[in-house]
Structure 1
């Protein structure tokens, strides 16, 4: 016998606790990224040697760096820059990979084999080394990082889209549309893209943390964003020089601003993937 309705429905009912915690963490970080920069202006060139290397306190909750800049404020700015660069780079890689995978899965035959050999060729090259080669051709800038990530990370999206297209082509509704005389463009537009969109969005969400790591690594090596900008990679690179003097917060706090949101995104993406494919979730729980 079903339970009687006893009140307002709760949208989070049945959602695992770790998913709710991950969503709350991302919401808090998103509010900080959106609200703090407009309210608190940060002078990227400001140096205050009188406040250099201060430990965490009420005035500076996460201390100051070696030139007196607030670590918490710069970490929020750095997360904002890294997230924007990672999001744009992920979208670029998804567009490139989506088009290649859609073409390979839809055309089949020789074009499919040639495109997948191209994907294998890009996959065989280490992403970081290829990215370093690309950004070395330009001056350090967000655009160079976006191009680097977009050109080196599209292969995953191409494989995902191709596999989904090959699966959809054998579905009865697609075969019926083809048998009814629908053109290739109409089949792609009306039948393939609506089913591919959730998987592409999921792949984009999963790509954002990877793109942030890529940007952080390039900035840490001095090849990503300009050194004076508040970037998480730049902050970790600057903070490692202070570790020997005991200023552990200069590197730890930016590292946490990388680790915490990426773990939260991974938890939410895993929950999203299980919702998209319940059969896979039931098979993994056996």
Structure 2
């Protein structure tokens, strides 16, 4: 009874966090789908007479250094950053799932070679490796996506390999092998479906990470072109304004980056508890 009473506040808090995260993610999805197509021209409109206006009714987020509305710029920049994050995260998840499943299913020398490559790449900072990759191309969306995808599949590969090694010891895998199923059939029909929930969770957690990675590259001038609105470019272009005491061109793009990250993390935590009942029961005690 005592454990149940203690668990109720924790469950209520998690429920509120999940609902809040879902509302934020839904609002972000609606904003990036509806607002940018309607405001694609307006967010580029220059009004030098109203440059660096503080937040007001006419401009809730204020204006930037050339008079453009920051609310529209932030929403449009969020759309670009979110697109980069989604495509990069999905690509990295596919690469990591394939490599992790290959290492775990075949084992032996295949596993050793793959994991040594993973260990070697893990020793290099993601941002440094991403800078090296993106520097070989002109600034643009696809070089950033390739850079993020090629530097973020490693954690997914480790997770998938661990899950595959766990599944290989299950009786139904032994039964499939005894029944004459080939190794490829065992991987495709039995092992991959078992790791998809973990791979999906890794993809969700990777989206905000990829968004931050894109923002860091754009902030350094190596990501998206300077004329293209992204959250990293907005923060980068606001550095001079911040030194002059104008805080809003930096604050609001930063919040547009932080709030969706926290919301996605909240949903990912609920997903993790759902696919890992043991951890959920431990949290409820």
User: Which TM-score bucket, shorter chain as reference?
Assistant: over 0.9
How large is the RMSD of aligned CA atoms in angstroms? 1.6
**Unpaired segments of 5 or more residues in structure 1?**
1-12
**Unpaired segments of 5 or more residues in structure 2?**
1-11
SS at match of 1:16: helix
Displacement of 1:44 in angstroms is 6.4
State the match for 1:203 in structure 2: 202
Displacement of 1:283 in angstroms is 2.9
Bigger Cα displacement from structure 2, 244-253 vs 206-215: 244-253
| Structure 1 length-normalised TM | 0.93
Bigger Cα displacement from structure 2, 51-60 vs 239-248: 239-248
On the 8 A contact 2:163/2:195 being kept in 1, the answer is: yes
Q: 1:159-183 deviations in whole A, cap 9, x for unaligned?
A: 0110000000001111111111111
| Structure 2 length-normalised TM | 0.93
Rounded to whole Å, the distance in 2 between the matches of 1:63 and 1:230 is: 16
State the match for 2:89 in structure 1: 90
State the match for 1:219 in structure 2: 218
Rounded to whole Å, the distance in 2 between the matches of 1:107 and 1:73 is: 51
Bigger Cα displacement from structure 2, 65-74 vs 13-22: 13-22
Q: Do structure 1's residue 122 and structure 2's residue 121 form an aligned pair?
A: yes
Displacement of 1:233 in angstroms is 0.4
Rounded to whole Å, the distance in 1 between the matches of 2:106 and 2:42 is: 53
State the match for 1:132 in structure 2: 131
Rounded to whole Å, the distance in 2 between the matches of 1:26 and 1:263 is: 10
On the 8 A contact 1:82/1:231 being kept in 2, the answer is: yes
Displacement of 1:14 in angstroms is 9.9
SS at match of 1:64: coil
Q: 1:130-159 deviations in whole A, cap 9, x for unaligned?
A: 101111111100101011101111100100
State the match for 2:110 in structure 1: 111
Q: Do structure 1's residue 253 and structure 2's residue 222 form an aligned pair?
A: no
- Structure 1 residues 223, 14: CA separation in 2 closer, same or farther (over 3 Å shift)? closer
State the match for 2:5 in structure 1: none
Displacement of 1:279 in angstroms is 0.6
SS at match of 2:223: coil
State the match for 1:36 in structure 2: 35
- Structure 1 residues 241, 14: CA separation in 2 closer, same or farther (over 3 Å shift)? closer
On the 8 A contact 1:102/1:161 being kept in 2, the answer is: yes
State the match for 1:5 in structure 2: none
SS at match of 1:80: helix
User: Which has the larger share of helix?
Assistant: 2
On the 8 A contact 2:89/2:207 being kept in 1, the answer is: yes
SS at match of 2:59: coil
Displacement of 1:200 in angstroms is 1.1
SS at match of 1:68: coil
Q: 1:67-118 deviations in whole A, cap 9, x for unaligned?
A: 1011110000000000000111111111111111011001001110110000
Rounded to whole Å, the distance in 2 between the matches of 1:168 and 1:32 is: 41
State the match for 1:152 in structure 2: 151
Displacement of 1:43 in angstroms is 5.5
State the match for 1:240 in structure 2: 239
SS at match of 2:258: helix
Rounded to whole Å, the distance in 2 between the matches of 1:226 and 1:44 is: 16
